[in-house]
Every structure is written in structure tokens, then in C-alpha cells.
Amino acid sequence: MALAEAGARGRLLRWPRVLLFGDSITEYSFQENGWGAYLAERLVRKCDVVNRGMSGYNTRWAKLILPRLITDSTNADGIVAVTIFFGANDSALKELNPKQHVPLEEYAANLKSMVQYLKSVDITADRIILITPPPLQESAWEKECLAKGDKLNRSNATTGQYAQACVQAARECSTDVLDLWTLMQKNQDFSSYLSDGLHLSTKGNSFLAAQLWSRLENKLSALPSLLPYWRDVDHTNPEASLL
């Protein structure tokens, strides 16, 4: 059978999508042992995991980009989950990092604005997960800053305020939330979860992946595997199994 004929006979294969939207912690998530790569491996036969992480970005910039990533309900069709993971840059101290800093009230408003936009293109609240910034290990991040000739430009206490605002925004929007800031500090030294005081280490990636998977697994459990397992293909008449 010619390929064109096979294509005409068969139905178009469209993979559902999981969209990861965030800053550098999302952008780096497809690196070796990254939390995004973990999700992609788990879901490879069920849906595509799309990385839309932008290093250094904050919610002020993100809310401008989101409508360009998902333009309308047609474009949103097939998106089964979205993670919104910002705050590590918004929470930078204004006097030391004014370019990335976003005031706390605006940060919360931006998160709610993005959720409302997703709802407007028919991505329901049950498919949206907000993720708070992780805790900041100040001494390690200060070394990174000093190496670039800068002063320590973030604090864990301030990051915690943004994490709380993220949790509250999720509550008001009726979405799920992963409070990474709180979970990573629960009864333990969280420094091993971070590679440089801000970004995730291998252990931190594994922690986030496990926490996120426990939420996504329920949402995505009903998705079928796309195309049959190879042992189930009728080798004498593959068209009957594959088209």
C-alpha cells in the first residue's frame, strides 16, 4: 500500500499535550534527570510534554506570552494539563534586581489572569496546576551572585511570601497547586534539593517529578496508549491494527 493511500485510509494521529509553562526551572527540566524529562518518559505513549520554559522570565512577561502560545480554543484542543511555574524571579528584591522583580500583589494578579485566560479558551481549572517557587538557599545563591559581581538579590522569606500568594491564587481560581516552597522545607534541610541555591539539583528534580506525577497521574489515567502494543498488532494484516 502506498504511503499516501495509507494516510488517506487512516485517521490522523494527534497526541494530547501537557504544557509546562515557567521560568528557568521549567526550561532546564528536560535536561538529564530533569522533572520534565521524567514526565515525558512516563507519558511517551499517551501524550506529548511540551516545554515552554523561559529562563529569567517573570509573570509580568509570561502573561503577555501565554495568548501567543495558546491562541484560541481550537489551538487549546488536546491540552490535557498545564503547569504554571513562576515566582523565583518575581520575588527578586526590587532594590537589587528591579528588572526581574514583580510586586507581590501584581504577581498574584498575573497568576490569576493567566488562569482566567486558560479558562477562556476552554482549558478547565481541573487541568491547571500552579507551582510555587522552591525555597531559596541563601548562602549558596549568594556565592553565585558574588561570582557575577552582584549582591545577594533574593531571600527565602520573601520567596515564601510569593509562594503563599501562589497558593492563595490557586485557591481563588479553584486550580490544583503544588506548594514546593513548603514541601521542600518540611522537617528537613532543603539545601540538597538545589544545585546553586535557586535551581533544582538532581534530587530536587526527582522530588518535584514525584510530587507532580502524583497529581497528574489521576488527571491523565484515563488517557489510552496511542497505537497498540507491538504484540497486539496483527502481523498478517497490520492495516487492520494500525489504520
239, part of any domain? no
Grid cell of 61 as nine digits = 512577561
Q: Residue 181 has what pLDDT?
A: 97
- DSSP assignment, residue 94? T
Q: Residue 2 has what pLDDT?
A: 58
Radius of gyration of the chain (CA): 20
Q: Residue 226 has what pLDDT?
A: 84
Q: How many CB atoms lie within 10 A of CB 201?
A: 15
130, part of any domain? yes
Where residue 1 falls among pLDDT bands split at 50, 70, 90? low
Where residue 112 falls among pLDDT bands split at 50, 70, 90? very high
192, part of any domain? yes
Q: Could you give the residue numbers annotated as active site?
A: 24, 196, 199
Give the residue numbers spanning the domain of 176: 17-222
Q: pLDDT tens across 138-179, in order?
A: 999 999 999 999 999 999 999 999 999 999 999 999 999 999
Is 169:112 a contact under the CB 8 Å cutoff?
yes
Mean pLDDT of the chain: 93
Q: Which amino acid is at 231?
A: R
CATH number of the domain enclosing 44: 3.40.50.1110
Higher per-residue confidence, 111 vs 44:
111
Q: pLDDT tens across 113-129, in order?
A: 999 999 999 999 999 99
157, part of any domain? yes
- Full-prediction pTM beyond 0.75? yes
Q: Residue 6 has what pLDDT?
A: 56
4, part of any domain? no
Q: Residue 9 has what pLDDT?
A: 60
230, part of any domain? no
78, part of any domain? yes
Q: Residue 75 has what pLDDT?
A: 81
How many domains in the chain?
1
DSSP string, 64-93: HHHHHHS-SHHHHTTEEEEEEE--TTTTS-
Q: Residue 77 has what pLDDT?
A: 86
63, part of any domain? yes
Q: Residue 102 has what pLDDT?
A: 98
